[in-house]
Amino acid sequence: MPKEKRRKGGAESSPYSKPSTKAAAAHSIFKMNTDLGQHILKNPGVASAIVEKANLKGSDHVLEIGPGTGNLTVLILRKARSVTAVEMDPRMAAEVTKRVQGTPEANRLKVLLGDAIKVEYPPFDVCISNTPYQISSPLVFKLLSLPRPPRCAILMFQREFAYRLFAKPGEKLYSRLSVNVQMWAKVSHCMKVGRANFNPPPQVESNVVRIEPKNPRPQISYNEWDGLLRIAFVRKNKTLRASFLGTSAVVELLEQNYKLWCSQNNVTIDETPDEVPMDETNDVDMDMNDDEEWKGFADPDLEEDEVPDFFKTAQKKGGNRKKRRSKVTDVVKEKIRKVLEDETQLAEKRARMCDEGDFLKLLYAFNQEGIHFA
């Protein structure tokens, strides 16, 4: 019987053929899904530096988001008590599990399969992540809003996103993200990481940042604070008057919240229908002539999943349908006007120019009038 013909260049490859190098081994297992942000950090020096920046203790429980093939995971396990790795791709979860299989570290690693934004985290002390870029913003907000935030988080981000964390009022990248992070945490820059340190290389450069939640935490409600910022930064280049009074969707939301507060505090309100119908789209058209130099600048943090639900609902309804409103609407609008003009004198100021102190004054004044955002 004649021998089987072989292809030129060596043995015929198959899904089960043994690769000659570790790099080839990684590629023979599966193809990286860049749509899920799978860019594996391959530089061991950078990986070691990231773990060093966390200042891990032997008693620390570490949360790792997106462990990939485990290049960071194995280094963390050498310094921490345990690691909980959250991975969305079952192939990656199997790979990182297999990497420590049969070693003493295997019992100290727990892999959670699922979406890092949706799963419930176990208690942890430090978060380390080569963060998939598409979840950067929701991940930061989730970490900051935890009832028991970590001691610190060492996170890899796209360079422009990292710069947004440090942005100050008046700068182009200043956003809701900037205000939130600087309110609830101390942010410091760790290092720059070039594209060549990843496999496959991403199209952008990266930065590693250290986020240390403030201890004690500011004595305000996170949901209230973030609710106020969501309204102010939907159109950060408009005045606060236009943001709060220029869109009926905002007035309706605050009216509902005010009614709830009144019912909880036994405050009587007049809900008699008003004779004047309310425009579904724009109750008052204010501040339509923004500064020319700021026109066309899209809000950097205005991603689809961050737009307030009441704005999405208003956009879906569309049209200029008229609807009846109660007299309490006028009461709420007057309270908003009073807060913006009389109490804080911030009516003509734009969100992009407001600092942390301005937003704290706004939140306090609104709460004093019975208007809440959570």
Could you list the residues known to form a binding site for S-adenosyl-L-methionine, using ranges: 39, 41, 66, 87, 115, 130
Cα–Cα distance measured from residue 111 to residue 107, given in angstroms and rounded to the nearest whole number: 11
Cα–Cα distance measured from residue 40 to residue 32, given in angstroms and rounded to the nearest whole number: 8
Residue list, annotated binding site: 39, 41, 66, 87, 115, 130
Rounded (5°) CA angle 244-353-137? 80
The label of the residue with tokens 């709830």 reads 260
3-state secondary structure string across the chain = CCCCCCCCCCCCCCCCCCCCCHHHHHHHHCCCCHHHCCCEECCHHHHHHHHHHCCCCCCCEEEEECCCCCHHHHHHHCCCCEEEEEECCHHHHHHHHHHHCCCHHHHHEEEEECCCCCCCCCCCCEEEEECCHHHHHHHHHHHHHCCCCCCEEEEEEEHHHHHHHHCCCCCCCCCHHHHHHHHHEEEEEEEEECHHHEECCCCCCEEEEEEEECCCCCCCCHHHHHHHHHHHHHCCCCEHHHHHHCCHHHHHHHHHHHHHHHHHCCCCCCCCECCCCEECCCCCCCCCCCCHHHCCCCCCCCCHHHCCHHHHHHHHHCCCCEECCEHHHHHHHHHHHHHHHHHCCCCCCEHHHCCHHHHHHHHHHHHHCCCCCC
Ramachandran area for residue 14 (φ above 0: left; ψ -120 to 50: alpha; else beta) = beta
3-state class (DSSP) for residue 199: strand
Asked if residues 82 and 29 have their Cβ atoms less than 8 Å apart, the reply is no
Both structure tokens of 12: 């015929």
